[in-house]
Amino acid sequence: MKNIPLDLITHFDDILKLRNIPLVSRPEYRKWLRYFMDFREKYPLPAERAAQVRLFSEKLRSKGQTEAQVEQAAFAVSLFFMSQQKQQAASSSTSVGTVSHAAVRGVSEKQPVQGPVQPVAFTATGMVCEPPGSPISDGRSERRKGRYDDWRCLRKSEYPAWDSIIVLLADEIKMRHYSRKTLQHYANWSRKFQCYLSHKDPAQLSPQDVKSYLTHLAVRCKVSSSTQNLAFNALLFLFRHILKKDFGDHKDIPRAKKSTYVPVVLSRDEIQGILARLVRPYQLIAKLQYGCGLRCFEAVKVRVKDFNFDAGLLSVKGKGGKSRAVPIPNRIVPELLAQLSFVKKLHADDLAAGYSGVFLEDQLEKKYPNAAREFQWQWFFPQESLTIIASTKEKRRYHVHNSRFQDALCLAVKKAQLTKRVTTHTLRHTFATHLLQANYDIRTIQTLLGHADVRTTMIYTHCVPSKTLKEMKSPLDF
């Protein structure tokens, strides 16, 4: 095929075989790939792969192709992206190996992935079929393209003593129901500490080793104060709860002073400019996050049962499993009801197709065996494609992955040509600041945000200048 290197063609054919594409259909897939390469040469396309698939699908529709052909073309392009990931993984490390059936079709929830990079599949609308709860960085986010396997810290190494320590660390964190990010960070810092000490026997560790490592981070690595404090907390947890050793006097260990952080806040015009450049369902996710002050993971993990339209309240399960209720913005109620109707129709189609239900947290499925297939437990922002569990061959549905929303928001910010550094959390910062500007009580804002300490909420007072500061003039203006 023209314009495509021979090695990519080989990897593409391998992906077709792994996905059990019939021999008679493979020429069609190669044809769609050739069309896509021509389309990419003729038109400037965004870096986000999902957007490329969507634009290509729209072009095919304008040429009179049927929906079945468009879906087949979108799937062919997504397989091509998988072949690119396979080639990159094979060239980056000889230990990575080839893509397995489990890697192509997805993995079960909360199951650590061993082996190759996990590919993703796009549909004609640009939505991505994500492996549920996949704990690795698999290249699906363009903003994090250079990172590889954030969970390699949990894999076995050449040092069994440290491997046992990491296993105990993971078990302790899971038993305490800490977040998966806490597990990732603590295990990662423990591995870095291990490398710094040249794999010293864990039984011989001392607080002096920690002091030396933190000094190394501050002086040689020049890390930020928050990074240094995170490393300190991780090693403190390691000593107290895993090694069962006295950490010694904290005063003898250097602690970085936390810098004062003033959050980035958007104006109302900037919010509208971003929302106008987002498409479904990301626009509604952004409106829900800004309108209710949700964190990114709280917004994408909302279920149907969490909405109480009669009372105008949304139940949110936040950090640490803590729940809170926030008012639903009246302005987006029609859009929320339309999304609810969409989810209801999608759920009916799923039941007719005999799918196994949505993913549930922890042991909820054992406690409520029918919950996964019940409507009230469905994701409010579901992925468009079903995920196939390799071990059981079950078809399950996952929610829109937060990385897809992050990429969509990043693209919208670029299109709006904003000079501020905007992330999904900026919408939450803006929610709190705008309420403060509207003279809402700080305790009320604390409750809506789900902060355990009002001092965390007080940081938004720095975003609202006082009347005296507004009226003050610079000496240049005298």
- Retrieve residue 97's tokens: 């190996």
Residues 6+ apart with CB under 8 A from 473: none
Place of tokens 């899971």: 174
Closest CA to 285 of 250, 332, 319, 243: 332
Mode of pairing for the β-strands spanning 307-308 and 313-317: antiparallel
pLDDT of residue 136: 30
pLDDT of residue 384: 77
Go through 363-373 and write b for each residue having 16 or more CB atoms within 10 A of its CB, e for each that does not. Answer: eebeeeeebbe
Contact 113, 155 (CB under 8 A): no
Contact 210, 253 (CB under 8 A): yes
Q: Which of 7-21, 26-40, 408-422 has the lowest mean pLDDT?
A: 7-21
Answer whether residue 452 shows pLDDT above 50.
yes
Q: What is the mean pLDDT of residues 293-321?
A: 88
* Bond from prior residue into 281 cis (ω within 30 degrees of 0): yes
d(CA 99, CA 115): 8
Mode of pairing for the β-strands spanning 357-358 and 395-397: parallel
Q: How many helices (H) and strands (E) does the chain have?
A: 19, 8
Residues 6+ apart with CB under 8 A from 464: 433, 436, 437
Closest CA to 428 of 402, 448, 455: 448
The enclosing H or E element of 317 equals: strand 313-317
C-alpha dihedral sign at 100, 104, 107, 113 = positive
pLDDT of residue 337: 92
Coil, strand or helix at 324 = strand
Residues 6+ apart with CB under 8 A from 330: 312
pLDDT (tens digit per residue) in 176-193: 888 888 898 999 999 999
Answer whether residue 454 shows pLDDT above 50.
yes
More confident residue, 408 or 471: 408
Contact 111, 36 (CB under 8 A): no
Half-sphere exposure of 104 (CA within 13 A, CB side): 21
- Retrieve residue 67's tokens: 């929906």
Compute how many other C-beta atoms are within 10 angstroms of the C-beta atom of residue 30.
Answer: 18
Coil, strand or helix at 458 = helix
Q: What is the mean pLDDT of residues 139-150?
A: 47
pTM (whole model) above 0.85: no
Structural domains of the chain sorted by starting position, each given as residue range(s) with its CATH number in brackets: 6-136 (no CATH), 153-252 (1.10.150.130), 262-478 (1.10.443.10)
Catalytic machinery residues: 295, 319, 425, 428, 451, 460
Q: Can you name the residues that pair with 269 across neighbouring β-strands?
A: none
Q: Which of 12-16, 102-106, 473-477 has the lowest mean pLDDT?
A: 102-106
Of all residues in the chain, the percent with pLDDT exceeding 90 is 8
Residues 6+ apart with CB under 8 A from 241: 172
d(CA 267, CA 270): 5
**Residue 262: Cβ-neighbour burial (10 angstroms; 0-12, 13-18, 19+):** exposed
Contact 176, 320 (CB under 8 A): no
pLDDT of residue 336: 92
More confident residue, 325 or 456: 325
- Give, to the nearest 10 degrees, the angle between helix 402-416 and helix 424-437: 70
Q: Tell me phi and psi for residue 154, to 5 degrees.
A: -90, -5
Q: What is the mean pLDDT of residues 197-222?
A: 85
pLDDT of residue 322: 82
Answer whether residue 380 shows pLDDT above 60.
yes
Answer whether residue 130 shows pLDDT above 50.
no
Answer whether residue 105 shows pLDDT above 50.
no
Q: Can you name the residues that pair with 323 across neighbouring β-strands?
A: 317
d(CA 410, CA 417): 11
d(CA 210, CA 70): 57
The enclosing H or E element of 176 equals: none
Q: Can you name the residues that pair with 303 across neighbouring β-strands?
A: 379
Contact 292, 286 (CB under 8 A): no
pLDDT of residue 90: 57
Q: What is the mean pLDDT of residues 220-247?
A: 86
Answer whether residue 120 shows pLDDT above 50.
no
**Residue 92: Cβ-neighbour burial (10 angstroms; 0-12, 13-18, 19+):** exposed
d(CA 407, CA 401): 10
Q: Output the average pLDDT for the chain.
A: 77
Closest CA to 403 of 218, 169, 134: 134
Please give, one letter per residue, the 3-state secondary structure of 228-287: HHHHHHHHHHHHHHHCCCCCCCHHHCCCCCCCCCCCCCCCHHHHHHHHCCCCCCHHHHHH
The enclosing H or E element of 53 equals: helix 49-62
Q: Tell me phi and psi for residue 357, to 5 degrees.
A: 110, 180
Q: What's the one-letter identity of residue 86?
A: K
Answer whether residue 108 shows pLDDT above 60.
no
pLDDT (tens digit per residue) in 359-369: 887 677 778 88
Q: What is the mean pLDDT of residues 282-301?
A: 90
